[in-house]
Amino acid sequence: MILLVTFLFASIFFSIGVFAQPEPNYNEEAIEPYVLPELLTLSNGEKIHTAEDWELKRRPEILDFYKNEVYGYHPETILQRTSVKVVEESDSALNGHAIRKQIAIIYESNGIQLTINVLIYLPNDVTFPPVFVGYNFYGNQSVINDPNIVLTDSWVQNNADSSITEHRVTEDSRGKRSHRWPIEKIIGEGFGIATIYYGDVDPDRNDFTDGIHPFFYEDGQEKPSNHEWGSISAWAWGLSTVLDFLKADELLHDSSFILFGHSRLGKTSLWAGALDTRFDMVISNDSGCGGAAIFRRKYGETAAIINQSFPHWFNKNFKKYSHNENALPVDQHMLIALIAPRPVYIASAEDDRWADPKGEYLGGYYASPVYELYGKTGLTNSVMPATNEPIHHTIGYHIRTGGHDVTEYDWEQFISFARKHLND
Ligand code: GTR
């Protein structure tokens, strides 16, 4: 009887949509007309005509909107509370072609510690190589099959891919994600790579008692308040903290740093690149909703869907924009514009409709007027390019064949884009 009543109530709730996921739209024709918030008009109506006014007036205003209403404020990196330990180093990695270095960044406060493990490969024959910096989903050991890679302690079950969700890191997961990280190729092209398991900074679950957040709570605080940081901001904080130490490393202090991230970590790379102008270039791969894609299109994943599935990614204030995108004071062209004039690359995949490839393209297209203020070229055509026809302006873009993943084709584009623009 009790079971029957519970079942009846659950069915009613589902049918009226209390628990149900909103249905995604994949029909371009069904997109309602929308008006984007103006990139080059201050909230007091004043128009912006110069790069200087953009930097002094409009950019801080937009950055503030994002902090308040989307990703949440995060504390400034506090170097005094961190120390670094070289855990392992070899100058004969990858058959002698690379230096491998593993460092542990230890953040300490009130007697508790958080350890961020950074795995670095650098080409042996290049001084101060440019370095791709990016998070991985499954631990540093997953990016390459190398028995020397230290396993992190902060492993937690992660729901991103059911094929490797076995709780703690095991020897089995060494190299499981190597197809996304063609490290030998990257090294062979003269670039370095630094990667970090994102769960070291904040485990990816709706729980604010773990990861970096509690280190910054006021007495009695148990979770971030409405305007404070969600997980994407926490991961962005982690990238800036790692950058502090990379920049101080004797092998890297003259290097350029290229942020790279896929999917939720592509959303993170855009936000981290917007916040921290020390990153010389930013790449987002299949970043979708909350990344490069325009919210107001509501194509594929939407604010309502993402807030329901991943309430911890954004701040509490962002919840009020579920089914209410037009009330947002920003849209994602503004996130991309915050990176200007630094080069930014947006990568999409044809079958990754969930991430709205066209919305990702338009994010770059509508950001372009800010690049133009600096005399740079963004995406000039309102129509997106054909599949596998990359654009390498200061805003770069491609849509490739295939699905939600990071492929060799993607890396070929990232490398040639970096070569072309790093010294702009
Ligand atoms: C999906 C999520 C996307 C994207 C993706 C990923 O479940 O809806 O926003 O971030 O995960 O990170 O692989």
What is the number of residues in the chain?
424
Q: What is the pLDDT of residues 303-315, one digit of tens each?
A: 999 999 999 999 9
**361 in helix, strand or coil?**
helix
Query: What value does the mean pLDDT of the chain take?
Result: 91
Give the 3-state secondary structure percentages of the chain, helix then strand then coil, rounded to 5. Answer: 35, 20, 45
2-29 pLDDT tens trace: 444 444 444 444 444 445 677 899 999 9
244 found inside a domain: no
Mutation choice for ligand 1 from 285, 310, 351, CB with most ligand atoms inside 8 A: 310
**Ligand 1: which residue has its CA nearest to atom 13?**
263
DSSP symbols for 293-353? S-GGG--SS-HHHHHHH-TTTS-GGGGGGTT-GGG-S--HHHHHHTTTTS-EEEEEETT-G
Closest C-alpha among 272, 199, 196 to residue 237: 272
User: Average pLDDT in the 262-269 region?
Assistant: 98
Residue 419 φ/ψ region, left for φ over 0, alpha for ψ in the -120 to 50 degree band, beta for the rest? alpha
Q: Is position 83 within any domain?
A: no
Q: How confident is the model at residue 166 (pLDDT cuts 50, 70, 90)?
A: very low
Mutate to test the pocket of ligand 1, among 235, 263, 309 (most ligand atoms within 8 A of CB): 263
Write out pLDDT tens, residues 57-77.
Answer: 999 999 999 999 999 998 876
pLDDT in tens, 125-152: 999 999 999 999 989 999 999 999 998 8
Is the omega angle on the peptide bond into residue 182 within 30 degrees of 0, that is, cis?
Answer: no
Substitution site in 163, 204, 301, 352 for ligand 1 pocket (most atoms within 8 Å of beta carbon): 301
Q: Which range marks the domain in which residue 285 is found?
A: 44-73+261-403
**Residue positions annotated with a catalytic role:** 263, 404
Minimum mean pLDDT range among 107-116, 184-193, 245-254: 107-116
142 occurs within a structural domain: no
**Six token digits for residue 297:** 């299109």
Q: Tell me, yes or no, whether 332 lies in a domain.
A: yes
Beta carbons within 10 angstroms of residue 13's beta carbon: 12
Relative to the CA of 265, which ligand 1 atom is closest?
12
Q: How many A from CA of 352 to the centre of ligand 1? A: 11
The per-residue pLDDT for 162 is 44
Inter-CA distances, 67 with 63, 272, 301, 330, Å: 6, 12, 22, 11
pLDDT at 165 over 90: no
Whole-number pLDDT of residue 322: 97
| Residue 408 maps to a domain | no
- pLDDT tens digits, 301-360: 999 999 999 999 999 999 999 999 999 999 999 999 999 999 999 999 999 999 999 999
CB 135 within 8 A of CB 265: yes
Distances (CA, A) of 230 to 1, 137, 327: 42, 18, 20
Distance 144 CA to ligand 1 centre (A): 23
Residues having CB within 6 Å of any atom of ligand 1 = 160, 263-264, 288-289, 301, 306, 309
Residue nearest to atom 12 of ligand 1 (CA): 264
Tally the domains of the chain.
1
- For the chain, the straight-line distance linking the first and the last C-alpha, in angstroms and rounded, comes to 71
**Ligand 1 atom 10 nearest Cα:** 264
Query: Three-state DSSP class for 260?
Result: strand
Cβ contact 56:343 at 8 Å: no
329: in domain = yes
Cβ neighbours of residue 225 closer than 8 Å, sequence gap 6 or more: 316
Task: Please report, for the domain that includes residue 329, its CATH number.
Answer: 3.40.50.1820
Tell me which residue of 372, 41, 313 sits closest to 159, measured CA to CA.
313
Return the closest-CA partner of residue 133 out of 91, 76, 192: 192
- Copy the structure tokens of residue 259: 């942020």
Supply the pLDDT for residue 164. Answer: 41
289 C-alpha to ligand 1 centroid (Å): 8
**Cα-only R_g, the chain:** 21
Q: 271 in a domain, yes or no?
A: yes
Asked if the structure places residue 295 within a domain, the reply is: yes
CA–centroid distance, 404 to ligand 1, in Å, is 9
Residue type at 219 in one-letter notation: D
- Closest by Cα among 293, 279, 211, 274 to 66: 274
Looking at residue 111, what is its pLDDT? 78
**Percent of the chain at pLDDT above 70?**
91
Sign of the torsion angle spanned by Cα atoms 313, 330, 361, 271 = negative
Residues 6+ apart with CB under 8 A from 274: 63, 66, 335, 338, 339
